[in-house]
Amino acid sequence: MIVMCIKNCTFAALKAIPSKIEPMKTNNTPAKRTRESNIELLRIVAMLMIVTHHVVLNVSNTYNEMYLQRSCEPKFYLYNALVIYGVNLFVMISGYCGIRATLPKGVSLYLKCLLYGVLGWAVYALIPGNNISAGQLEPYVYVLSGNTSWWFVRYYVFLFLLSPFINKILEHSTRKEVYMLTAILTVLSVYFGWMNHDVVNQNGYNLFNFIWMYCIGHCLRFHTDEIRSSRYVRWYALLLWVVSVALTTWGEYHHWSQVVFGYNNPFVVTGTIGLMVLFLTFDFRSKPINMIASSTLGVYLIHCHFQVGPYFINYASNHYTSDWQIPLFASGIFAVCSVLAMAIDAMTSNGLRTLCEKTTKRTAIIALAVLTVTYIVLHA
């Protein structure tokens, strides 16, 4: 009886979601434009930062992403402070460009996660000595359950689902109202969350922080022309990032917070804004950069895969002998995963595109209802 009620509620809720959401054109609506390679380059830099962050955590024998172990060498504080901006950058870029949620895009995102999850598990199963079971596939089928190492994907999907409503607020509000909303989110995240460890946003690893970064990215869109027309903004932005790195390193060295490397750290956020503004000062088009940038999600899904991801990161930690190897290992992992991602996408993109385009709202509702019910049954 409970399962039937939940199934009916799922059907009712999803019927209210349009298959395609087209925001009304307002002064705050980002204009549709071709892919800006400066932004695509920033995506690549952001993913390199994420990979490097994971390498630093492992070679320093640290397994808590929010702060380094006190026993590790202080130099790792600096190394991590240089690259802690990757996740915030990805979400801020989404806010700057605007997420345009449609049913095909949502289906494509889910199927890509499922595909990479199953392929990674299959590779893991082929390696002699590994214990395998069908249950290991469950986290990739129920990618939103939080049982995978893809925590970023989980919250990004939540942001994707909420984006039509967030966009309506941002696009139908005055600039002053958008600034006020962003300021309120900043106070809640920094003062109540980061400083006082309130559950609203304790460390930045949550949906609230993603919404905050999305709003900041939207605010930056207002000032694109000003940023590109100024001769000195580029240097101010670079200085802002350098100061952020210095303050974050100093803060971790003096242990003045348990979450110095939390994504809601105000110094991390200001450094993220600095990097975002720095790349906005450029304006160019490059097909190779755009092509590599299209593989960044795949790079994340591969190197953070629950079964095969550790092989990449552990190789770095097992062969680490000198500091210069950290960027080398990170670049190598990025390059290998990028090539694999582009190969997988090349072989499956046409099939996935056709499947996504033919997926109707009714089919999506039925599939989501089945997934919901089976998950409840399995975990009842």
Q: Mind listing the pLDDT tens digit of every residue in the chain (380 residues)?
A: 433 444 444 444 444 444 443 433 444 554 555 789 999 999 999 999 999 999 998 888 665 555 555 556 778 888 989 999 999 999 999 999 999 999 999 999 999 999 999 999 999 999 998 888 888 888 898 888 877 789 999 999 999 999 999 999 999 999 999 999 999 999 999 999 998 888 889 889 999 999 999 999 999 999 999 999 888 999 999 999 999 999 998 887 776 655 788 899 999 999 999 999 999 999 999 999 999 999 999 999 999 999 999 999 888 888 888 888 899 999 999 999 999 999 999 999 899 889 998 888 888 889 889 888 888 888 77
Residue 309 inside a domain? The answer is yes
SS3 call for 375:
helix
Q: What is the pLDDT of residue 33?
A: 58
Tokens at 199, concatenated: 């559950």
In a domain, 113, yes or no: yes
Q: Is 114 within a domain? A: yes
Q: Are 3 and 377 a contacting pair, CB within 8 Å?
A: yes
Total domains in the chain come to: 1
Q: Other CB atoms closer than 10 Å to residue 249's CB: what's the count? A: 21
Whether residue 144 contacts residue 154, with contact meaning beta carbons closer than 8 Å, is answered with yes
Look-up of token digits 């469950």:
138
The per-residue pLDDT for 11 is: 43
pLDDT for the residue 7: 43
pTM of the model: 0.87
- What is the per-residue pLDDT for 58? 85
How far apart CA 276 and CA 280 sit, in angstroms, is: 6
In a domain, 29, yes or no: no
Exposure string over 180-204, b if 16+ CB within 10 A, otherwise e? ebbeebbebbbeebbeeeeebbbbb
pLDDT at 76: 85
Residue 175 is assigned to a structural domain of this protein: yes
Whether 344 is in a domain gets the answer yes
Listed residue (161, 160, 111) closest to 353, CA to CA: 111
Residue 27 lies in a domain: no
| pLDDT of res. 62 | 60
- Structural domain including 188 reads 41-378
CB count, 10 Å around CB of 178?
A: 19
Residue 10 within a domain: no
Q: Measured between alpha carbons, how far is 211 from 136 in angstroms, rounded to an integer?
A: 31
